[in-house]
Amino acid sequence: MSYNNIRLEVEDGVALVTLNRPEKLNALNAETVGELSRAFDEVADSPQVRGLILTGAGEKAFVAGADIRELAALVPAEAQRYAARGQKVFRRLEEMPKPSVAAINGYALGGGLELAMACTVRVASSQARLGQPEVKLGILPGYGGTQRLPRLVGRGRALDLLLSGEPIDAAEAHRIGLVNYVVPPADLLSFCRQWLRKVLANAPLAVALAMEAVDAGLDAGLEQGLRLEAAAFGVATATEDRREGMQAFLEKRKPAFAGK
């Protein structure tokens, strides 16, 4: 499939999706969001791809937000559709039963931070800056920022970032739990690949079930979440991978999971 504003490369079971409009700091215009949607479908449907990494082209930015030139031309009904469409695409990424890593190589602002928050985990280069500056433009986040940010860092810290509009550096983002790891810029992609390799060496169905239990349980509340966890636990126990995992432990060898 051909893309204008992103690159999609698959290597060793891992898809690398690179936002590729460096001259505009990889700002998300409607065309790019459409391409992300197609890329996520491609990744979800490909049995060869087991995980993905998202990053930005160039030295400066992961994604510096939604494209302000496009936003400036929207009337309210269009703006609502624009937000709903982006939300749907980001949700597709979040719900995919394949782990995703945001490799945040620079600015992750507005829609860029929202995209990173839809990933399973976030790894920031020590030079990254993250924020939700929308209120400085007279709008608020529209791609899930008001919902995912408090879920990740808590209500008070989320409101601080959302209302001040001020960006934070990678160290502060790590301190508040917005990113999982901070690494030197030169190590960013290799660290993300290594993290995914570790996860992908585990039982694939168990990994997917754990992701689903966290995602669905967070919104359903504790009681329903616990029921969901118990049901998922039952399903995992029926897999061949469970037999292999436990057998390998008892035989003091590495498991060979088949994803069955």
Instruction: Enter the tokens of residue 4.
Output: 């204008």
* CA angle, 19 then 24 then 25, to 5°: 55
- Among 114, 212, 223, 229, the active-site one is 114
What residue is closest to ligand COA based on CB?
A: 65
DSSP string for 4-49? SSEEEEEETTEEEEEE--GGGTT-B-HHHHHHHHHHHHHHHH-TT-
Which x/- pattern, by CB under 6 A, does the window 218-257 give for ligand COA? ----------------------------------------
Outline where DSSP puts E strands in the chain: 6-11, 14-19, 51-56, 61-63, 100-104, 107-109, 121-125, 129-131, 168-169, 181-183
Active-site annotation holds for 114:
yes
CA-CA distance, 12 to 189, in Å (whole number)? 14
Cα→Cα distances 197→36, 88, 105, 193, Å? 23, 28, 20, 6
Task: Check: CB of residue 15 under 8 Å from CB of residue 103.
Answer: no
Stretch that binds ligand COA, among 2-10, 50-58, 133-141, 223-231 (CB under 6 A): 133-141
Q: How far is the CB of 68 from ligand COA (least distance, A)?
A: 4
Instruction: Write out 153-177 in H/E/C secondary structure.
Output: HCHHHHHHHHHHCCCEEHHHHHHCC
Q: Which residues pair with 109 in a beta bridge?
A: 131
- Binds ligand COA by CB under 6 A, chosen from 56, 86, 99, 133: 133
Task: Check: CB of residue 9 under 8 Å from CB of residue 15.
Answer: yes
- Binds ligand COA by CB under 6 A, chosen from 16, 19, 27, 232: 27
Task: Check: CB of residue 199 under 8 Å from CB of residue 120.
Answer: no
- Binds ligand COA by CB under 6 A, chosen from 39, 52, 57, 64: 64
Cβ closest to ligand COA, residue 68 vs residue 79: 68
Instruction: Enter the tokens of residue 24.
Output: 């505009």
- Among 11, 78, 94, 134, the active-site one is 134
Q: How far is the CB of 239 from ligand COA (least distance, A)?
A: 43
Q: Does the footprint of ligand COA cover residue 68 (CB under 6 A)? A: yes
Q: Does the footprint of ligand COA cover residue 57 (CB under 6 A)? A: no
Cβ closest to ligand COA, residue 86 vs residue 204: 86
- Binds ligand COA by CB under 6 A, chosen from 19, 66, 128, 189: 66
Which x/- pattern, by CB under 6 A, does the window 99-128 give for ligand COA? --------x-xx------------------
Active-site annotation holds for 134:
yes
By CB under 6 A, the residues from 134 to 193 that bind ligand COA are: 134, 137
Task: Check: CB of residue 244 under 8 Å from CB of residue 256.
Answer: yes
Q: How far is the CB of 55 from ligand COA (least distance, A)?
A: 16
Report the interface residues with ligand COA, using CB under 6 A: 24-25, 27, 64-69, 107, 109-110, 133-134, 137
Q: Which residue numbers are catalytic?
A: 114, 134
